[in-house]
Amino acid sequence: MAQIGYTLMCEQTPARQLVEDAVDAERAGFDYEIISDHYFPWLEEMGHSPYAWSVLGAVAARTERVPLMTYVTCPIMRYHPAVVAQKAATMGALSQGRFTLGLGAGENLNEHVLGRGWPPVNIRHEMLGEAVEIIQALFGGEYVSYRGDHYTVDSAKLYDLPDEPIPIGLAASGPQSVDLAAEYGDALVAVDADPGLVERFNACGGKGKPVYGQVGICYDTDAEAAKERAHRLWRWFAADWKVLAELPGPVNFASYAKFVRPDDVARQVPCGPDPDQVVEAVKKFTDAGFTHVALVQIGAAHQQEFFTWAEKELLPPLRAL
C-alpha cells in the first residue's frame, strides 16, 4: 500500500501557518510530510517563501508521528554541503529519527541569488555527487576533510547526530540523475509518474528502496473556482523540468506561463470535490512503481477545508490503492 503524504508548500504559505498545517495534516491521517525549500516562489501571486529549515524545526517540535522530508534541498550553491549535513543531523535529532534528507541539483530560481552564475546540468550533477559524498561522510560522525573539483572541506565534524542514520533521497528527472540517485541515495524522488525512471533506478541498484512522487491538486466544493485558483497559482508547472530548472525569477515564469490556459492546468491538476480524480492521478504514480505520493493542496487559504475532506472522503480510497 502506498504511503500518502502532505506537502508543506513554502512558496504559497506563511511560516506560522505551515506549522499549524503540519499539525492538522498529521491529525487528518497523512502518513508523512514533505516541505519545499526555496528562496523565491515561482510566481508573485504565490506570495511567500519562508526559510524551510526554521519551519522544519518548529514542525518537528509540534508533531509526534509523521516522518518529515525536504522535497528537495539543493546542496550545491546556496548551501554548502557541510552546512546541509549539520542542518539535517540537527533535524534528525529534533525529530527523533523521523527525518529524511531529500536532495536535488536545484533551480536557477533559487541559486542565482549568490551571483555565481548557473552551471550546466552535467556540472550540477557533478556538484551534487560531491555534495552527497561530503554529507554522507559527515553523517559518519568522524572528522572529514575533502578536496574535490567543486568543494573543499577542512576538518569538519558533526557533534549532534541522531541515533539512527539519516536516509538521503535524491531527485531525478532523467538517466544521469537517476544513476546518481541509485549510486548515492537511499530513495528516489521524482515529480513525473514515469515508470522508466523507476525501472532504471531499480536496475542500477535502487531496487527495494522507496520512491517518492508528488501530485498537485486543487480541492474546492466549486470545481470552476478550483480551476481558476489552480491556474492563478500553478500555471508555472506546465513546463517540464528542463525549463523549470533554468528560469531565474518569478517574472520569467510569469512570462513563460502567460499562454497557459485554465484548461491546460486542469488537465494536469485535479480540480474540484471529486476524490476519484485524485485517486486516478495518484494511481498513475503507484502503477509506475512509486511507494510514496505526497499531495499539494493549491491555495494557502484552503487547507483546513482540504483536511476535513481528505480525512473523510479522500484518504480512505487512496489507502485502497
CA nearest 101: which of 131, 127, 123? 131
Q: Is 107 a catalytic residue?
A: yes
- Residues 124, 126, 132, 135, Cα dihedral to 10°: -90
CA nearest 229: which of 221, 237, 218? 218
CA nearest 304: which of 17, 62, 50, 34? 17
Could you say which DSSP state residue 105 is in? Answer: -
CA nearest 236: which of 14, 12, 71? 12
Among candidate residues 38, 125, 231, 292, the one labeled active-site is 38
Contact between residue 239 and residue 277 where contact means Cβ atoms under 8 Å apart: no
As a three-state string, the secondary structure of 218-246 is ECCCCHHHHHHHHHHHHHHHHCCHHHHCC
Separation of alpha carbons 212 and 198, rounded Å: 10
CA nearest 189: which of 175, 208, 210? 210
Could you say which DSSP state residue 29 is in? Answer: T
Contact between residue 245 and residue 106 where contact means Cβ atoms under 8 Å apart: yes
Among candidate residues 107, 112, 130, 231, the one labeled active-site is 107
Helix axes 15-28, 52-62, angle to 10 degrees: 40
Residue numbers annotated as active site = 38, 107
